[in-house]
Structures are given as C-alpha cells and as structure tokens.
Chains A and B, each alone.
Chain A
Amino acid sequence: MKLHCKTIPEALVKAAASSDADRGYTFVSEDGKNESFYSFKELANQTARHAGALVQLGLAKGDRVGLIVPQNEEFVLNFLGAMYARLIPVPLSPPLNLGQLGLYLEQIKHILKASETALLITVPQIKSVLGSLLGSTINKIITIDDINVSTDKLAFTPPAENDFAFIQFTSGSTAKPKGVALTHKNLVTNAHCIMNLGIQASEQDVGCTWLPLIHDMGLIGFVLSSLLTKTPVVFLPPLRFLKRPVEWLQMITRHRGTITFAPNFAFGLCTKRIGESELEGIDLSSLRVAGCGAEPIALATLEKFAQKFSAVGFQKKAFLPCYGLAESTLAVTFAEPENSLKGDYVSLESLTRENVAVLVKPGSSGAANILCCGKPFEGHELRIYDFRGQICKEREIGEIVIRGPSVMSGYFNNKEATDEAIKDGWLYTGDLGYLQDGELYVCGRLKDLIIISGKNYYPMDIESTASEIEGVRKGNVVAFGVQDIGHSNERVVVCAETKNDSRSYPELEKKIKTKVREVFGIKIDDVLMLKPGSLPKTSSGKLQRTLAQKLYLNGELGVSKKGQGKLSLFILWTKSQWNFFKHRG
C-alpha cells in the first residue's frame, strides 16, 4: 500500500501547502446561526499555535492530554494541536445532561488513571464539576480560555509513524477501561482505506457530519481522514442534529455535501421526525455516499429513509453499509459504492440451528435480511473462525478475525486485555459473520456489549448501577441485550434478585428502570425480579451471565417470556461451544 505521508500532522501540513484557500473545515456554531471556516492553511496555523501553547505549559513528547471539550471547533484545534506537539490526546465525553454526575466522575477517573494523563483541558462549565479529581487523579485541569494561542507557532517536527497518535477509550466500564492506542501508521493507513479505496474521494467531494467527535466515526472518519485527501468538511454540533434532524439535511443542501456517515438510528430518526413541511428547500441530489455503520444495520430503516427522501433528490444507491471497530482504527470493510444495498435473505432457522446462512426467498416466513458490508481493504486480511479456531467455509457463521496495518498494537497499558483480543497478530473482533465471494455479512455480536443508537453500553455497568438500589441483592443482577436479525436496536433486559416480598416487585422494577434511564439515558425493555438463588452461579459463586440469558430466553427464569431473541440463543450456543473448546485446548 503506497501512502503519500506517514503521520497525521504531516497530512495537515501537506494539505495546508497544496490546497486552495477555499478548501478546509467549516464549523456550524452551537446555536446554529453562524459558520466559521478554516482553510487548511489556517487550520495548520491555528494547530501550530495551539501546539506552541501546549508545549509552553510544560508538556513533553508522549505526554497524555485529556480533552473534554464539547464544542467541535475548539475540540479540533486542541486535538490537532496536541498531536502536532507530539503529545497524545485522550478524548473524553462530556457529562450526560440528565445523568448522574457521580458515575460520570467515576468513569472519567478510571480513564484518566489508566491513561496516566498529565493534563486535562476542558471548558469552564465542566471544570467546575471536575474539582474532586484534582490532586487525587490529575495534577492539572485547565480550560480552553487558559490556552494562550497568541504565542508563536511551534516549529514542525514530524512524529515517527509508530508513535502513538491518540488513545480512544471504547469502554465506559468502571471496572476496566480499555484504551485503544493507535499509531500514526494505523491512522494514515485506515484514512487511506476509507478515503481512497472505500469512498474513492475526488476533488469534488464535500463531507457533511453531525457525528460526535469523541467517537471514532466522527473523529477519524471526518477530522483525520479528510486531511489526507484535502476533502472539505462541514461539522454540525451533534445536539443540533438530535434536536432538529432536518439540520443535517439542510447542511448537505447548503454545502452541496457529497459524503456523510451515520449509525442506523440516525436515518430512522430523520424518517420519524422530519415533517413534510420541513422538506421545502432540501436538496439531497449532491449526496453520493451515505455511509452507515457503528451498529447493526436494518434494511427496513434505510429503505424507509430512501422512500421518504427520494422526493428531495436522495438516491438510494448512495447508501454504503460498512463494518468496523475501534480496535482496527475505524473501518474494516466498505460495501462497493453504488451496490444498492446488496444483501442476503437467509433462513433464520438454519442460521440459528445449523450455523449456516441458507438463502431463502425474500418475504418467506423466517427470512431475515443481512446486508453485505463488502471486502476487506487492500493489505488487510479477514477470516471467519469457528469455535475450534478453524476457518469457516463460505456462508458458515463464525467469529470475524482480522489482521493488517489498521489493527491497533494493543490497549494502552493493559497487556491482559490486549492478549485476549490479539493472538498471533489476529484481532478477534467478538463479532459474528460469514463470507460469500470474499464479502462480509455481519450477523451479530458474541461479546458482552449492548449497542443502542450507535453507542456502546457494558452489561457490568448497568448491573452495578441496578445493584445500588435498596432491596436489590448486591451483586445479584445480570443485564444483557437481546439481539434479533433485522432489528438494529436490541432489547435490554435486567434480571435482579431480591429478598423482598413479591408484592414489592413492581416498585423495584420501576426503580431499576428509572435509575438506569437516569444514569445511562437508555430504556430497559424488561426487568425481571427474582427470589434469592434464582440466578445461576458457578461453584465459586460467580454469576453466570450467559447461562442466565439462556434461561431467560427459554422462559426458564421466573416468568420470562418465551419466543424472542432467536439470534441471541444462537449466539449463546456458539459461546458455549467456544468456551468448551477453549477449556480443552
């Protein structure tokens, strides 16, 4: 693979030197009323100034710098500034609005400790709530106003391609936060794959995004990758999209956007929330790539979007399903451009019973649609392993494993987690899928993770939150998601033991639902209260989440409902096979 630069700062410097003054990044203001434009040249200047200011604060090469900056413009300048100064930025999410501060601080604390962050940069409103971390967790917290950007520009010294460029914390888990440490080589390689091989970006392209920049899809996919191809990008604050989804379409119209990306739920939100009257003046005919990833993709959601917005020029062939994960930088496979949502209709029955995706007629009973996510990029390998660790045949379902220059070298300072994820250079993704003609079809998730609206939640975090409720037996709670093919959002289930009388069950159920909603902002679909000793445990007293899930799905736990989550049952079966062979091998 031939790359024309080796690091992200070099890509920025090159873009600044060789692109026209009208190419660069545009930031829509928080109130949606203004836009500020930085040509790549101006972006590089400001980046070098921010870098200079950071160095003046006494930071040295390789130091980690935490960033909790909700405004896109300030975030990008500080993030790129840190990279330019050869520091390692660690982006962190701002507190949830209706969330509880306690749990948020706990998560931030773990991440700051795990990344051994030297300095935290934030905004004044957030700094005031972070006070308790000062001294114990972090030595210095400054606000963006404290950064003296009027200083001289820092002279450019390129980092080495194998230097860590930044650390992305994928897990909000309070127990063991895992930070994906990415090198410049990882980033530049993946950026090349995304922009040149996947999207096949040209001079005419313009990116438009509302994605949060603390997640890989927004940060790597737009802020970093676009530098490589000097592609102009317009950034809309995520909250503006969530408030009025039509602003996403308005920005595409205004800037003649050609490229956008979003998780499945965002397309659903547009269909649901944008009224006919809001469509006046919208023109999506410029859009040639509407990428979709980060969570399971439901064909029905995309089709409804296409149906509704074809009236304003949206072309269905613009949809580009993709597959990826943070441990492989961002992107692993992209569907062929203009493949018109190619997919398989498979028999759910044979998929879940025989481990094989047997083709059936669309619309026949038990048929499930699985979209094609395309081939792995040049220079990368993708295999499907069965539970014996052997390569699956075509259409046989197994774990997706990948190898190549986009795969992280490991989790930061966490050898145990790294060794579990990467064996002999192969990254075990924890996702399930099959191959047909070298193209990937993703079917589900083996790993204990719940994805809601493109965001990841960890069962352990939900369990410990539910455990805090009075009346719930501490440590005797399991949480899991129930996956079904064709549904992008999974159902969240919590099973909890209590010593209380069954008359108190409805009240406890309500308390658990309320607390989880308050802390995580997600709804629980089903809470099941149980007598002490109902949840299965190992002989050493450890809760068996997988077994509990199986009992639940089979209707053998309390009075749970039967007949849902066929895919989940299949995943559980696969898992048990996996563990069986792991223990023997």
Chain B
Amino acid sequence: MLVNQRQGIKQGSEKNHDPKTYDTVRSEIITIINKKVESIDHIGEHSSLITDIDLDSIEVVELITKFEDKFGIQIPMDRLTELKTVKDLERLIFSLIQKKHM
C-alpha cells in the first residue's frame, strides 16, 4: 500500500504495426541479427544464439531493443534464458506480436 503520487510520462506515439506472417517475422529477425553481428558465417534459423552470435551483455540488450522497436512489442528480460536458437527467438517474438493484436 503506497501512499505516494504516481505520474504518467508522456511518450512518443507507438507506431501501428500490421499483423505479420511468421515468415516475414523470421526474415526480419534474421536481417536484424545479421546486420548487428556482421559475422562471416551467415546466421540462419538453426543458428545458436549462444555459440554463433558473439555479443556481450550490453550488445544483447541492444539487439533485443531493435526487435522491440521493429515489432512494437516488449520482450520481458526474464524470458531470455529460455532462448537457445534463432528459431526459439522467432517463436517468442511471433507470439508476442500475436498477443499484441488480440
């Protein structure tokens, strides 16, 4: 029971995103990762987020933010431990997008 004052912060208008198909989401995710990682090996659906993507903890947050901005969703940080492959990431993001449009 808090007796303090709460105030809203004005934020920029959120962009409206059309519902996307799973395939579009996948290709957009892979494009974002490849742009960020600049790896010699091409990152694909079955790439491991742990062994194939060389990012430190701050860069991981940056990548997550890129997905949030692109798809207009919020990715809870405590869900990240579940993610092992790019495919896991696709599924999580796709489900968050669907939830948003429900």
Bound-state CA distance A97–B57 (Å) is 8
Interchain nearest-CB distance for B30 vs A (Å): 19
In the complex, whether B1 has a CB less than 8 A from a CB of chain A is: yes
Contact string against B for A residues 42-71, beta-carbon threshold 8 Å, 1 for contact and 0 otherwise = 100010000000000000000000000000
Question: Could you mark each residue 263-280 of chain A with 1 if its beta carbon is under 8 Å from any beta carbon of chain B, else 0?
Answer: 001000100010000000
CB-nearest residue of chain A relative to B69? A244
Contact between A46 and B2, CB atoms less than 8 A apart: yes
Say if the beta carbon of B13 comes within 8 Å of chain A: no
Return chain A residues, CB-CB under 8 Å to B77.
97, 239
Number of B residues with CB within 8 Å of any CB on chain A: 28
Across the two chains, which residue of chain B brings its CB closest to A96? B57
Encode B24-67 as 1/0 by CB contact (under 8 A) with A. Answer: 00000000000000000000000000110011111011101100
* Distance from A72 Cβ to chain B, minimum over Cβ atoms (Å): 13
Contacts of A390 in B (CB 8 A): none
**CB-defined contacts of B58 to chain A, threshold 8 Å:** 242, 265, 269, 453, 521
Total interface residues in chain A, CB < 8 Å: 36
* CB-CB nearest in chain B for A452: B56
User: Which residues of the partner chain A approach B7 to less than 8 Å between Cβ atoms?
Assistant: 34-37
Which one of B51, B60, B64, B74 lies within 8 Å of A521 (CB-CB)?
A: B60
Distance between A471 CB and nearest chain B CB, rounded to angstroms: 15
A522 proximity list for chain B (CB < 8 A): 56-57
Of the candidate stretches A25-33, A420-428, A536-544, A560-568, the one touching chain B is A25-33
Give Cα A135 to B66, complex, Å: 43
B40 to chain A, nearest CB (A): 13
Q: Which of B56, B61, B80 contacts A517 (CB 8 A)?
A: B56
Which residue from B3, B8, B51, B60 sits with its C-beta under 8 Å from A98?
Answer: B60
The answer to whether B65 and A244 have CB atoms under 8 Å apart is yes
- Provide the A18-30 mask, 1 if CB < 8 A to any CB of B, else 0: 0000000000100
Contacts of A242 in B (CB 8 A): 58, 61-62
| Cβ of B102 to closest chain A Cβ, rounded Å | 19
Residues of A within 8 A of B64 (CB): 243
Sampled A-B contacts (28; CB under 8 Å): A31-B74, A34-B6, A34-B8, A34-B9, A35-B7, A36-B2, A36-B4, A36-B6, A36-B7, A37-B4, A42-B4, A46-B2, A46-B4, A97-B57, A98-B60, A125-B78, A149-B1, A242-B58, A269-B58, A452-B56, A510-B51, A513-B54, A514-B51, A517-B54, A517-B56, A521-B56, A521-B57, A523-B56
In chain B between 51 and 102, which residues have their CB closer than 8 angstroms to a CB of chain A?
Answer: 51, 54-58, 60-62, 64-65, 68, 74, 77-78, 80-81
Chain B residues near A388: list those with CB within 8 A: none
- Within the complex, what minimum Cβ distance (angstroms) separates A268 from chain B? 10
Quick one: closest B residue to A38, CB to CB? B4
Chain B: residues with CB nearer than 8 A to chain A? 1-9, 11, 50-51, 54-58, 60-62, 64-65, 68, 74, 77-78, 80-81
Residues of A within 8 A of B (CB): 28, 31-38, 42, 46, 96-98, 101, 125, 149-150, 239, 242-244, 254, 265, 269, 273, 452-453, 510, 513-514, 517-518, 521-523
Known contacts: A36-B2, A37-B7, A273-B62. The answer to whether A97 contacts B78 by CB under 8 A is yes
Nearest Cβ on chain B to A555's Cβ, whole angstroms: 25
Which residues on the B side are within 8 Å of A150 (C-beta)?
1
A437 to B78, CA, bound (A): 51
Q: Give Cα A517–Cα B65 distance, bound, in whole angstroms.
A: 20
Q: Which residues of A contact B65 (CB under 8 A)?
A: 243-244
For the complex, give the distance between the alpha carbons of A510 and B4 in Å: 51
Q: B residues within 8 A CB of A523?
A: 54-56
Which B residue's beta carbon lies closest to that of A243?
B65
Contact across chains for B11 and A98 when beta carbons are under 8 A apart: no
A249 to chain B, nearest CB (A): 14
Shortest 4 CB-CB distances between A and B: which pairs?
A: A521-B57, A243-B65, A242-B61, A97-B80
Q: Which residue of B lies closest to A265 (CB)?
A: B58
Q: Shortest distance in angstroms between A40's beta carbon and chain B's nearest beta carbon?
A: 12
CB distance from A424 to the nearest CB of B (A): 41
Let me know if B9 and A35 touch, CB within 8 A: yes
Within the complex, the shortest CB–CB distance from A501 to chain B, in Å, comes to: 21
C-alpha gap A269/B3 in the complex (Å): 36
